[in-house]
Chain A
Amino acid sequence: MSMKQAGGNRKPGGINSGAAAASGAAGFGRQSLGRGRNSAKVPSAAVAFSGVYANMQMVHVLTSVVGNKCELKVKNGVIYEGVFKTYGPECDLVLDAAHRKSPEPSVGPRREDIIESIIFKSSDVVVVHFKDVDLNYAKKVSSEQDNFTDNAVSSRLNGEHKEKDLEPWDGGEQHASGSLESLDNDLSNGWDPDDMFKYNEETYGVKSTYDSSLSSYTVPLERDNSEEFLKREARAAQLAEEIEGSASYKARVALENDERSEEEKYTAVVRDSHTLNRENKYIPPGQRNREAGMSWGAGRQNSPRLVQCSPGPPAPRAGPHDYGTIPGVDQRVVNGGPPRMSPKSQRTPRTHRVASCRGGGPSGADFMSQGASGEVTAPPPARSSPSGGTWSSVVSGAHRPRSPRQNSMGGAPPVPSSLSSPQAGTVPVDSMTTPTSATSPTSASPSPNLAEAKESRIQETRQNSPSANKENVKPMESSSGISRLASKGPPSMTPDHRKQLDNLKKFSVDFRLQSSSNPDPVFETMVSKAPRDPGEKPKEQATDKSTTDATESSICDEVPVTLVATAAGSKPSTPSPSPSSAFGTVSEQKRGPDVTSQGVQTSSPAVTSTLKLDKDDKEDKKDPVPESVRKSTLNPNAKEFNPRPFCSPPKPATTPTLPRPQGQPSPSIVVQQPAVYGQHVCFPQMYPLTPVSPGVQKSIIWKSPAMYHVPVPHMTLSQSKPYRTGKVPNMPQQRPDQHHQPGTSTMMHPNTAAGPHIVAPNPAYSTQYFTCSPQQFASQPLVQQMPHYQSQAQHVFSPVMQGSPRMITPPTHGQPSLVSSSTTQYGEQTHTMYVSAPIHQQYPHPSATLHHHPQHPQPSATPTGQAQQGTQHGGSHPAPSPVQHSQHQAAAAAAAAQALHLGNPSQQQMYSALAPTPPSMTPGPNPQSPQASFPSAQQAVYIHPSQVQHGYNPNHMAHVQQAHMQSGMVPTHHGTPSHPVMLMAAQPPAGPQPPMPQGTLNPIPVSSTTHFSYMAHPQCKLLVFLLLNIYESKGFNFEQLMICCAR
């Protein structure tokens, strides 16, 4: 044992201590050993080793010979031979099997001669001779040889009980490739994909079809030296900086990229310098891009960036900024040509940032779309649209769902989907290629998609016509062109777009009034959103119109595809629940498109929103609309993105959306609501709504709360999201409005965001949009809706019901938005929101129209109509069609939130178009076309209204529920049944069904949950913000988000 130091220095003690004596002979050794240790440890221990036991050397040697035969000679000369057994403290020796050695040599003892054991007193012993002793016999061989860890090494103290100071091993200067250090010095960041492919090809004969350009998923960003592009790039860089500069972002990044290696963290050896540092540390794709420069080609980078962005967004500040930036970009885009240079400039920078942030990856499509849009239409618009897309994607950072959706959208809609996806994306989200939505309406959930498409298209057309009809148209076309690739009906869109543009112009005029009050930033954001919305709407409208046509069918196909892609389940479901589902899908699709080609999508949404806004603001919005239209052009790129949509599915958003959609086919509405909620959640501003909502519609309230919550934490995000959403929907409107209405900053923003839509479509819409866009969305929508509803009370009792809540909410929203927006710009936005809210109230008519539309749609063909609505909604209201919802929920969730908002706006626009015909031509056109073509269109309108209003914020909650509820409530709406059904379906997911009876309340909760889920998706990017918010607000959302993310 460890005798070593035991008694080494101890005094013998002179006396045989009782303890020592007490110890049995056999136990002596052990005890002595043990005591030795003890003594070593506690020198002053009471149990002092006595006698020989205190003599470490003696103890050791005597113990070592235990078991050996020995000859013991006593003083009388007799020799005893035996096995040394043990010894006592007085050195008494014990021999076992001892016998008196006979003089006869070599004669063994006889059995009777052997004595079991003999104890010899040391005083009698003269000499003890141990022969042939192996002193190393009992040396302990560590059985823990393998434990060559710092701990094991340091634990081998053998008596020493102080920490062993480990010394770092210096391998010298060898750097042979095979040396351990080579690993540390390896600067490579893991396997290069090419290496992996090469290895697999050589080793397994597997030939990869991987194309680093992701050409099958996205379109490379076309870089040009245009001012807009540079602005957007700068903007993107700025956003990236903001995001990456945020503490939360750093903290999260630090988790993954800890400066310290595991060795450094856990080793017991302290090394002075970490030469390796981060050489081999993981470099986020986005980072790589940056480092490498921003190459769009690197889709990965983009995606990473998106992710990064999303992280950034999570950080309240970053998020808001992002959103704000995004909106700004959108606005800029929208404004691109328009009035608000500053916003635009900011936006452009933002866009740039976004682009940079996202790199080329997923956004590649965005960029592409942007680039394309830019190319197609005037640089600004195009950019705006693209940027919108990018922004949306960027924003998606905040609105992860969207981005995901976009991605998903892109991914989902492979070919047709690609087109559709863009559309879908456009419709719901920013760039949601209205075309897709339009297309989607026709085919997948024809009605919804169509409706959306119509809306988007109409809006776009409107917008286009107003500001740059041609541009818008072009974008639309281009976007549609993308979709057209799939033989979409962009052309058809154009007429609608024009109408929409007109409407948008009208809205824009109205909007301007409202938006004028809005702060520029807000406006920008709003504008951006609005532009997108308009674009989307126009597209949607066009698509809707086209949907009626074969082109539409194609588009529809695309949409469906997108839907399918985004949420195959949702799509399937969508058809049946088509309205709601369709909407959901549409919205999702829109989102997807947005993501893919934000420009397009955004444009459509923007268009829708813009349409509303335009209707309100008309002229102003019109301008934005064109921009949005241009954005839509960007959408064309989005078309290319459509392929991406396929890829996008992978993205959280899409997948999430899909699941959601699936889960909520019928619930689609619910889904939408959820989505809306998500959006709302995203939008802090929405919170205001919550307060309001309590009064009237729980759903709304919920949304608003959610929104508020989210927004509050992430004011920027929420705002941004709202903006986005608002943008998407509003973008068109806002853009027009904002752009047109440079002055309206604060009001403008919210309004712009939501307002634009509202304006374009109808005042009500604008309001709704406002609510939606600002997170306000919720508030605005609520407000707007509320107003609308109230004003339109007729339209729907449910609306009234909702309306009252909404009404309440609006104010609250406004406040909340203000609060959330408390962040500077946001504040303005919130103001705008408020303003918008009032305006919205004015809008009531639109809303009424919307309601009417909803009713119509429902009656017309609950499924189809819903589908159409869905489409529209899809753009704006996910809820309408489960599919859309699903999409919204899933992919849209994040982007969806925005998209939803957008979509809602679009829907609103749609509504406006449908119902509000008066307010803004767009409504009429949209509704008309959709409605005309699709009775469902009216339904769609319905959905939209509900969605739009509620949608954006809680809007889905409110809108959908309201709409549905209303529809349901208002039996008038055939849709009611269908809607109810839809609601039920939609709600089921979110808990819509309950809502049905209770109307808004239940739906709201459900929707809220759903929204959250949606939110989750969107939030995927915003994860942090949203997640947190969502968490707080609702665990569901988080889970959904998680799911979405996973997907």
Chain B
Amino acid sequence: MTRRLYVSAALLLVSGRRKMAAPAAGEYFSIGGSVSCLTCLGQRLQGEVVAFDYHTKMLTLKCAPSSGKPNVSDVVLINLAYVSDVDIINDRTGTPPPLASLNFNKLANRARAEKEEKLSQAYAISAGVSVEGQQLFQTIHKTIKDCKWQEKNIVVMDDVIITPPYRVDNCRGKEGSAVAHVRKIVEKHFRDVESQKSVQRSQAQQTQKDSALSA
């Protein structure tokens, strides 16, 4: 069964009916239920209700991961004040699963790490690194954390230096597994980029293949 609510009015009505009762998330949205919302900006969001706060009118949905990766999901925090309509696709009966304890230190560390990483990238970007270079950096960083920008060069493990245009041939360093490994990563990165067709044509990227594909 689907209910359509016009957020503002609906909430008002609800609040009016229930007076000052402290509505829990479950009172308007059953935790675990599926909801579809249309924001005022015209963005439709659908997902499983994770939490809802009446006073702030903040609704949290867990949606399918945009990247399609397993074991992850997108979380959307929606302010129902700016939602044109809410469709309750289905309600979930029964009590929601217990909430697990969270390791806040781990979360805090993640936040700090993410921030540093972003700043690091920003620094590199500000240095005039090409988009291709930035993408490559991000790709390498996923595999090898020990990588950093040195001017426009990507330094991996303090051993391998990737200079613009960041091609496989640009990987230099002491002969060894490190260079070979990095080259594989770089090679795969560009191959993936091409395959995805989400190519950002850069000087470095403009290979024949790329051109061909792009073409």
Instruction: Give A contacts to B, CB under 8 Å.
Output: 1-5, 8-14, 26, 29-30, 33, 51-52, 55-69, 73, 75, 77, 82-85, 90-91, 93, 96-97, 99, 105-114, 122-123, 125-140, 158
| Known pairs A4-B99, A61-B50, A83-B115; A132 contacts B65 (CB<8 A) | yes
Instruction: Give 23 CB contacts A-B under 8 Å.
Output: A1-B104, A4-B101, A12-B55, A13-B22, A55-B51, A58-B58, A60-B99, A60-B102, A64-B102, A67-B114, A85-B111, A97-B115, A106-B200, A110-B125, A110-B126, A111-B123, A112-B126, A127-B79, A128-B76, A132-B69, A132-B73, A139-B101, A158-B101
Name B71-112 residues within 8 Å CB distance of A.
71-79, 81-82, 96, 98-104, 106-112
| Known pairs A55-B51, A111-B126; A139 contacts B103 (CB<8 A) | yes
B143 is an interface residue with CB less than 8 A from chain A = no
CA distance A7 to B124 in the complex (A): 44
B103 contact set on A, CB distance < 8 A = 1, 138-140
B98 contact set on A, CB distance < 8 A = 4
Interface centre among B75, B106, B109, B135 (most CB of A within 10 A): B75
CA distance A85 to B116 in the complex (A): 13
| Known pairs A51-B55, A75-B40; A96 contacts B115 (CB<8 A) | yes
Q: In angstroms, how far is the closest chain A Cβ from the Cβ of B52?
A: 7
Q: In angstroms, how far is the closest chain A Cβ from the Cβ of B121?
A: 5
| Known pairs A61-B75, A126-B41, A127-B39; A138 contacts B106 (CB<8 A) | yes
Closest to A95 in B: B115
Instruction: Give B contacts to A, CB under 8 Å.
Output: 22, 24-25, 31, 39-41, 43, 45, 50-56, 58, 60, 62, 65-67, 69, 71-79, 81-82, 96, 98-104, 106-115, 118-119, 121-126, 131, 134-135, 198, 200
A123 contact set on B, CB distance < 8 A = 79, 81
Closest to B73 in A: A133
Q: Kindly list 4 other residue pairs between chains A and B, CB separation below 8 angstroms, not including A61-B51, A110-B125, A111-B123.
A: A66-B111, A109-B121, A110-B126, A123-B81
| Known pairs A61-B75, A65-B75, A96-B111; A33 contacts B102 (CB<8 A) | yes
Are the CB atoms of A134 and B99 closer together than 8 Å?
A: no
Are the CB atoms of A133 and B126 closer together than 8 Å?
A: no
| Known pairs A113-B122, A137-B106, A138-B106; A122 contacts B58 (CB<8 A) | yes
Q: In angstroms, how far is the closest chain A Cβ from the Cβ of B26?
A: 9
B109 contact set on A, CB distance < 8 A = 67
Are the CB atoms of B122 and A114 closer together than 8 Å?
A: yes
Closest to A81 in B: B118
CA distance A5 to B79 in the complex (A): 24
CA distance A122 to B101 in the complex (A): 26
B123 contact set on A, CB distance < 8 A = 111
Are the CB atoms of B108 and A26 closer together than 8 Å?
A: yes
Q: Which of A9, A58, A90, A106 contacts B60 (CB 8 A)?
A: A58
- Majority secondary structure of chain B interface residues (helix, strand, loop or mixed): mixed
CA distance A10 to B55 in the complex (A): 13
Are the CB atoms of A131 and B122 closer together than 8 Å?
A: no
| Known pairs A67-B110, A85-B111, A127-B45; A58 contacts B53 (CB<8 A) | yes
Are the CB atoms of B76 and A130 closer together than 8 Å?
A: yes
B69 contact set on A, CB distance < 8 A = 132
A64 contact set on B, CB distance < 8 A = 75, 102, 107
CA distance A106 to B125 in the complex (A): 11
Are the CB atoms of A128 and B53 closer together than 8 Å?
A: no
Closest to A117 in B: B115
Are the CB atoms of A111 and B108 closer together than 8 Å?
A: no
CA distance A68 to B106 in the complex (A): 12
- The 9 A-B pairs at the shortest CB distance, nearest first, are namely A67-B110, A11-B22, A67-B111, A111-B126, A57-B51, A58-B51, A128-B77, A91-B56, A130-B75
CA distance A136 to B62 in the complex (A): 13
CA distance A66 to B135 in the complex (A): 24
Are the CB atoms of B125 and A109 closer together than 8 Å?
A: yes
| Known pairs A75-B82, A123-B81; A57 contacts B25 (CB<8 A) | yes
CA distance A192 to B172 in the complex (A): 75
A13 contact set on B, CB distance < 8 A = 22
Are the CB atoms of A129 and B111 closer together than 8 Å?
A: no
Are the CB atoms of B100 and A140 closer together than 8 Å?
A: yes
Closest to B23 in A: A12
CA distance A158 to B96 in the complex (A): 16
A111 contact set on B, CB distance < 8 A = 119, 122-123, 125-126
Are the CB atoms of B60 and A61 closer together than 8 Å?
A: yes
| Known pairs A127-B76, A127-B79; A63 contacts B22 (CB<8 A) | no
A66 contact set on B, CB distance < 8 A = 104, 107-108, 110-111
| Known pairs A97-B119, A133-B73; A69 contacts B114 (CB<8 A) | yes
B45 contact set on A, CB distance < 8 A = 127
B134 contact set on A, CB distance < 8 A = 106-108
CA distance A122 to B59 in the complex (A): 11
Are the CB atoms of A56 and B79 closer together than 8 Å?
A: no
Q: In angstroms, how far is the closest chain A Cβ from the Cβ of B91?
A: 15
A69 contact set on B, CB distance < 8 A = 114, 118
Are the CB atoms of B115 and A57 closer together than 8 Å?
A: no
| Known pairs A91-B58, A138-B104; A106 contacts B131 (CB<8 A) | yes
Q: In angstroms, how far is the closest chain B Cβ from the Cβ of A82?
A: 8
Closest to A4 in B: B99
A112 contact set on B, CB distance < 8 A = 126
A8 contact set on B, CB distance < 8 A = 24
CA distance A135 to B102 in the complex (A): 10
Q: Which of A33, A56, A122 contacts B104 (CB 8 A)?
A: A33
CA distance A111 to B71 in the complex (A): 32
Q: In angstroms, how far is the closest chain A Cβ from the Cβ of B172?
A: 24
A125 contact set on B, CB distance < 8 A = 77, 79
Are the CB atoms of B60 and A62 closer together than 8 Å?
A: yes
CA distance A279 to B200 in the complex (A): 81
Closest to A9 in B: B24
| Known pairs A3-B101, A57-B25; A132 contacts B126 (CB<8 A) | no
Q: In angstroms, how far is the closest chain A Cβ from the Cβ of B62?
A: 7
B99 contact set on A, CB distance < 8 A = 2-5, 56-57, 60
Are the CB atoms of B67 and A132 closer together than 8 Å?
A: yes
Closest to B124 in A: A108
A60 contact set on B, CB distance < 8 A = 51, 99, 102
| Known pairs A4-B98, A109-B125, A113-B122; A90 contacts B56 (CB<8 A) | yes
Are the CB atoms of B110 and A137 closer together than 8 Å?
A: yes
Closest to B60 in A: A61
Are the CB atoms of A131 and B67 closer together than 8 Å?
A: yes
Are the CB atoms of B101 and A132 closer together than 8 Å?
A: no
Q: Which of B53, B100, B111 contacts A84 (CB 8 A)?
A: B111
Q: Which of A55, A65, A127 contacts B53 (CB 8 A)?
A: A55
Are the CB atoms of A132 and B40 closer together than 8 Å?
A: no
CA distance A61 to B134 in the complex (A): 31
Q: In angstroms, how far is the closest chain B Cβ from the Cβ of A801?
A: 85
Are the CB atoms of B111 and A52 closer together than 8 Å?
A: no
B25 contact set on A, CB distance < 8 A = 55, 57-58
Are the CB atoms of B104 and A132 closer together than 8 Å?
A: no
CA distance A77 to B50 in the complex (A): 25
Are the CB atoms of A130 and B74 closer together than 8 Å?
A: yes
A26 contact set on B, CB distance < 8 A = 108
CA distance A99 to B53 in the complex (A): 27
CA distance A2 to B102 in the complex (A): 6
Are the CB atoms of A135 and B75 closer together than 8 Å?
A: yes
Q: Which of A33, A77, A133, A140 contacts B41 (CB 8 A)?
A: A77
